[in-house]
Structures are given as structure tokens and as C-alpha cells.
Amino acid sequence: MMLICANNDAVFQCLEARQIAIIPFQSAYNMNTLRHFSLGEPCPASPHAVVSSLPTMADVHAYEQHEPRVVKALESGYPRFVEHTFIKELICFYLNRAGLEGCGAVLIPGRRATQDLVDYIGKGVSTLKVEDALFLVYFDKSDEELSQLVGKFVQHTGCGISSRQAEDILVMLGLRDTIFEEASIRLGSQNKVEMDLAALIGCEAKDVLVCACGMNAFYAGFRAVQEAQLAKGRTQWLQLGWLYLDSGCVLKEFLSESESLECCYNATDTESLIKKVESFGDALACVVVECPTNPLAQVSDLGRIAEVVRRCGGVLMVDPTISSIYNVDVLAHADILVTSLTKYAAYEADVMIGALAINPSSPHYGDLALRASSYYQPAYSRDLARLAYEMDRAPEAVARMCANARLLADFLSGHAAVKKVHYAGDSEHFTEVARGADTGGAMVAIELHEKIQPFFDALNVMKGPSFGTKFTLACPFMYLAHYDLVTTDEGRNFLRSIGIDPDLIRISVGTEPISEIIEVFEEALSCL
């Protein structure tokens, strides 16, 4: 059987010529997903699954505290947080081949990202080219601070090697015998994905960059804006609402000494936001907002905010990931759009990939387009091939996820054990960006009257990070994203002060029959 591949790159050519054996793929379609998943169990049953189970609150705490029993169980997981087995194996091979046993290392595809990492870290890291456009960055792993710094850079920027690329190289080197079989579109996958994304986003394919992951899209967009605006003496950044963990980290950690960041955590207080933007005047560099926000699903008045940002000469960067480009139309307001396609588009939860788009009508178009293309890391070819296949089927899956989310949100809103429900479809300004009825997205977040542990432990769904998956998924979001805050009185009080319940449960509603989804949640809530 021939390997299904995306293009004619050297790795694929080598593997295809050898007619490498492949093993069958069990689709998430065929799995019972409304059940208990054991610790570390992936979903779907693929080595490239981006979700691994953390089934109890005790497991969540143990994961955050790096307890060996959990670390050992997670052979795969959300790739920017859990080093994939294939990647570990490949790094070990390169270190041994180079006589660098005992060193810590990461694998970075591309010279630009590798140099960015070296420049960011400074002293203590060295690089070795191990394959065409693939670099091993190695360091003394006994230096815990250095190890953490390298790991955080890869996590925040999304510049690491993909599991599929690692798998292909392992087979090419003769270290593995098989390639995991999965349906994909072999020919013209990049062009197809770009065209499909352009149609969804509302631009031309030339204005879309398909990136290694959503955080790489955010990082490339950030760098493009930063470079363009610093050249004009613009140094003030403004964050609206709560941002996803790594997006916030990029803004805090990669600004220069001459730049500053302010945060307005209420993304719906339009009048205050406008006054804040206007106060920056000619110093305004960029306003960054998620639409809807994560995890409160707030929707800003993008039209009015965009107007004042443009009048002040700033850039508006918008991330619509929570409801996805399938459900919200934001590019008309944004100068630059960044999004994860790991959610919704890759609804089987087995592709790490993202996208960046520049609004061709933006006055900043010329400043941003070339710069963004120099910073982004292109998606790997076999990831593109898999995504192209899933995107052909995503609209139907996404529509069902959205319809189910609407019904589950309504059910939970009427349940006595539930204190509050956050759902984008109920947000004040959602209709202004919505693509139609029942397009609120798959995410529902809830606050409970009681402690969350009995409910969470009893909930028979997959439990772990990510969302926009075909299967229903839940997680104690702030524990996985901001453990340092939820485990101290000071941190918990801060979260409450900005309207976030530290014990909020984030739910991504899947495509299972809604009656069965509701039954599962009703049973878990009965434990309270």
C-alpha cells in the first residue's frame, strides 16, 4: 500500500519509493465517546491525537505538579505541552548520533525560528542542522531554568516539529517500520486548504498563511505588527478581555523595553475601551482581542472598536478561534486575523495547525503581509494533507456541534446546580459577527454552586485540553491554563475580580446525539 502524502518533498518521496507499510486508522466516528476514558488514553485512537485523558481532578493536579504516574501515562497529549513519543525518539537518535547523550534538546523546522530561539535565549544553547531545514537546538538539561526557558519558547511560539514530520523521518531513517494510515488528500493539499480558508475568512488565497499551529500564527502576526509599528515609533499595546495563556505570554515576554502593554479585561465595556484606545493617540501600536473570548465567550463591539483603532493608526488583531471562522466573520473589522485550525477545521482532533490572514482592505496591508510571511512556520505537508481531508467534512460536523451546544447551554442554564453559563451565542454583540443562526460555536463554560470535583470526576466524556472536537470534551480550564493562579488565594481573588470563576468548567460540545449528551451531564450534576 502506498503512503498518502501531500506533496513531493524529499521525505515523502523517500517513504513512497520504499512503499512503507501503514497500519489502519480507527476514526473518532466509530468510537463510543460518551464514556469514561482512562488516564492518558488518546482520542481519537491515533498516534497524532492532540487530546489525552485527564479523567479526575486528582489527575489534573498531578499533571500540573508533574507527578511521574501522570507524566508516564501521557505518551501523547496537546503537543505544545506534552512532548510526543515520536519527537522524543527522534531527538534521542540525533543526540546519540552527535555524541551529545545527556543533553536536553528540541527540534525546530526552519532557520528563522531556530535563530529566533537562539536570540531569545542568549547564551547556553547550540544548534546542529540534522536534516534539510531541520535543526537540533541542544543545551545542558541540568540547568532547570534554561530548560524551562527553551520549553516555554517552543510552547509560546508553536515552532516545534510536528508528530507527523517526526514519524516520517523516523521511518526514513529506518527507526520505525510503519506509517500510521489515515485518510488524506494527497495532491494539491496546500492550495486546496488556502483556497478553502480564503473562502471562509473572506479574502484571497494569497492573503492566507497556513501555519504550524495556532500559536505560531499568533506569534507571526505579533512579530509582523511589532516590527511594522516600531518603525513608526508606535509602542503601546492593548489587550481586550482575557486571552488564551500563550497569547498573553507572547505579549508579555516578547515586547521590547520601549514597548508597553495594558489590559482591559472587560471586552464588552465598549465606551471605556474606546476611551482607552483614544488615550494612546499616536503611540498606539496594536489592539489584540479574541472574538469571542476564552473562556467567558464575551463578544466585543468590533465595528466601533475597529473604527477608533483605525482612526488612531493602530492595528487590530483578532482571534476568532473560540467560535471559529466557520461561525463568525471578523476579517472585515480586523487588520490581521490569527486562528487555530486544530479546533473545528481539524474536528477529529488529530492535526496541530493554524492560519493567519491579512485584510486586503487594511491600511496596514503592505506593512504586514511581507513581514508575516517571514516569521511564520509553514504547516508540514502531511498535516496539510490530513487537514484538507477533514475540511471537506468539517461544515457538517461543525453545524451539528453548534446546534448541540445551543441545546446543552439551554439545558444547563435551567439546572439548579449551575450558577452561570457562558455561551457566545448569548453574548450581546454576537449577532454582529455571526454567520447565521446557531453559529455560537461548540464551547459552553459553566460555573457551579458546589465544588467541581464530584461533578468533574463523574462526567463520562473525554476530559482534557482543546475544543472544537467531534467528541464532547470538558476541562477545568483555569487549572490547566493558569494553575499558579487557581492554587493561591491571591490568584483566585484576582480572577474573581476580573469576572472569571477559578473553578469554571469549559465544555466543548461534540456531535453525539444531544439527548445522550444531556443525559451524561444530568447524571454528573446529580452528584452535587
Residue 522 reports pLDDT greater than 70: yes
Residue corresponding to grid cell 485518510 = 183
Beta-carbon contacts of 330 under 8 Å, excluding residues fewer than 6 positions away, are 291, 302, 318, 320, 337, 433
**Distance of alpha carbon 238 from alpha carbon 423, whole angstroms:** 24
In a domain, 315, yes or no: yes
Asked if the structure places residue 263 within a domain, the reply is yes
Determine the average pLDDT of the residues in 43-64.
96
pLDDT at 23 over 50: no
Average pLDDT of the segment spanning 116-138? 96
* Cα 506 from Cα 400, distance rounded (Å): 18
pLDDT per position as a tens digit, 222-252: 999 999 999 999 999 999 999 999 999 999 9
pTM (global) more than 0.75: yes
Residue 186 has a pLDDT of 87
- Which one has a higher pLDDT value, 344 or 72? 344
| 357 pLDDT more than 60 | yes
Cβ proximity of 320 and 339 under 8 Å: yes
Establish if 439 belongs to a structural domain. Answer: no
On the question of pLDDT at 211 being above 80, the answer is yes
Can you tell me the mean pLDDT for 358-368?
97
Q: What is the pLDDT of residue 79?
A: 79
- Confirm if 208 and 288 have CB atoms less than 8 A apart: no
Residue 22 predicted with pLDDT over 90: no
The count of structural domains within the chain is 1
Band of pLDDT at residue 81, cut at 50, 70 and 90: confident
Residue 78 binned pLDDT confidence (cut-offs 50, 70, 90): confident
Rounded mean pLDDT, 26-39 = 76
The pLDDT score that the predictor gives to residue 6 is 35
Burial 277-300 (b: 16+ CB within 10 A, else e): beebeebbbbbbbbbbbbbbbbbb
Secondary structure of residue 447 in the 3-state scheme: strand
What's the Cα-to-Cα distance from 41 to each of 87, 166, 364, 457, rounded to whole Å?
A: 19, 21, 46, 16
CB atoms within 10 A of CB 413: 14
pLDDT surpasses 60 at 21 = no
Q: What is the pLDDT of residues 412-470, one digit of tens each?
A: 999 999 999 999 999 999 999 999 988 999 999 999 999 999 999 999 999 999 999 99
Which three cell numbers mark 255?
515586547
- Please give the pLDDT value at position 143: 96
Mean pLDDT of 386-390: 98
For β-strands 443-448 and 462-463, DSSP reports them as: unpaired
Structural domain contains residue 266? yes
Contact 297, 433 (CB under 8 A): no
- Is residue 165, in this structure, part of any structural domain at all? no
Place of cell 464532547: 472
Spatial CA neighbour of 441 closest among 504, 500, 399: 399
27 and 331 Cβ atoms separated by less than 8 Å: no
Crossing angle for the helix pair 214-230 and 245-253, to the nearest 10 degrees: 30
* Domain limits for position 313: 189-387
205: in domain = yes
- 84-121 per-position pLDDT tens digit: 999 999 999 999 999 999 999 999 999 999 999 999 99
**Residue 381: is its pLDDT beyond 60?**
yes
Is the pLDDT assigned to residue 2 strictly greater than 70?
A: no
Whether residue 217 lies inside any domain: the answer is yes
Q: Average per-residue pLDDT in the chain?
A: 93
- Stretch (H or E) spanning 507: strand 505-508
3-state secondary structure of 60: helix
Residue 177 scores a pLDDT above 90? yes
- Within 13 Å of residue 278, how many CA atoms lie on the same side as its CB? 10
Do 36 and 417 touch, CB atoms closer than 8 A?
Answer: no
Confidence of residue 80 (pLDDT cuts 50, 70, 90): confident
Tell me if 485 is assigned to some domain. no
Backbone dihedral region for residue 158 (phi beyond 0: left; psi -120 to 50: alpha; all else: beta): left
pLDDT of residue 1: 23
- What CATH number corresponds to the domain at position 251? 3.40.640.10
The string of DSSP letters for 263-321 reads EE--TT-HHHHHHHHHHHGGGEEEEEEESS-TTT-----HHHHHHHHHHTT-EEEEE-T
Cβ–Cβ < 8 Å for 407, 522: no
